Amino acid sequence: MKLYMPSRILFEQEALEYPIGQNIQDFAQKNNIPYRMIPAHNRVTGLPGETAQQKYSQAKKTLVVGLKKDLRFQSCRPSADYQFPLMTSCPGHCEYCYLQTTLGQRPYLRVYVNIEELLKEAAAYTHKQSPSITTFEIASSGDPLSIEHLTGSLARTITFFGQLPQGRLRFVTKFTYVDSLLPLEHNGHCRFRFSLNSDKVVQQFEHRTPSVQERIEAAVKVAKAGYPLGFIIAPIMVYPGWYEDYGRVIEELEKGLDKVKTFSVPLSFELIQHRFTSKAKKSDTREISPESLRSRRKKA
Ligand code: SF4
């Protein structure tokens, strides 16, 4: 799958004082991506699109570059001790994504440039709880791997945590841009968890994400690099033929893992059903993505 390329980039003024902000500006100039300054991320206006679907789609093609002002970390129970946000949203258009309800009017991608301040704060949280291990989840508000080629934030965070004896990272992803992360000195302190589903569910609901096969190939590379690894099959959907389809996913996974069976990589598996947030239960179910509409029309 091709690397994500935003159609426009919006910078908060202070963002250009940080190396990540400057690098993204260079990237925009080299790739002729239009960019402009904005006073604050909650003042993003004038994105193209008439209908709600068009606006949502254009927001996903918009990258906002700014600072994380509140350096306090939210709890992330039960999967980790704290959330560690490097960014919000992601280029994918999964129809069931909980971010559709939690990000409300702001589904655009947003990256934080003040990563060194965030890392310093994470180290302080970790030292406070030492000698216990403190775990941070980096994907609670988006998929950081999806834009790693633009920020390099994930690599910096993994390397930093590699040197923190009591700090651990984890994140879940559907994306596959892992190559730049393979040579890092992670010391086993970061667990990648790849989200999988049946081919049918991926094709029908997980728009603009890599195929299951590509995700398994990326997982094999990660395992060979010695990272702790996990798989999440979620959300499990029951439809005619679901049992056989999910069986095929397990078989594909088995074939992939067979290639790394000589490596001693800690593995985890999670099987999860969809959980409707209270906002999702109340949302207007008539608002469906253009891709879904097209695929439903084809079947009709
Ligand atoms: S890849 Fe994950 S974060 Fe992105 S839209 Fe799909 S479910 Fe949401």
* pLDDT at residue 216 is higher than 80: yes
Distance CA 162, CA 126 (A): 13
8-299: CATH class: alpha beta
Q: Which of 1, 86, 97 to mutate to test the pocket of ligand 1 (most atoms within 8 A of CB)?
A: 97
pLDDT score recorded for residue 298: 54
Q: Report CA(126)–ligand 1 centroid distance (Å).
A: 28
On the CB side of 140, CA atoms within 13 Å amount to 19
CA dihedral 92, 77, 217, 190 (to 10 degrees): 120
Distance CA 51, CA 95 (A): 17
**Sheet strands side by side (includes 267-271):** 82-83, 134-137, 167-173, 190-196, 229-233, 267-271
Provide the residue ranges of all domains of the chain, joining segments of one domain with +.
8-299
* pLDDT at residue 231 is higher than 90: yes
* pLDDT at residue 300 is higher than 70: no
Q: Report CA(94)–ligand 1 centroid distance (Å).
A: 5
Residue with tokens 């968890």: 193
* pLDDT at residue 49 is higher than 50: yes
Per the CB < 8 A criterion, the answer to whether 218 and 178 are in contact is yes
94 lines ligand 1 (CB under 6 A): yes
Distance CA 67, CA 106 (A): 16
Distance CA 265, CA 226 (A): 6
Quote the Cα angle for 233-239-241, to 5°.
90
Phi, psi angles (nearest 5°) of residue 10:
-115, 125
Per the CB < 8 A criterion, the answer to whether 112 and 71 are in contact is no
Type of residue found at 211: S
Per the CB < 8 A criterion, the answer to whether 205 and 96 are in contact is yes
- pLDDT, one tens digit per residue, over 124-145 is 999 999 999 999 999 999 999 9
Minimal-distance CA residue to ligand 1 atom 6:
94
Distance CA 113, CA 44 (A): 18
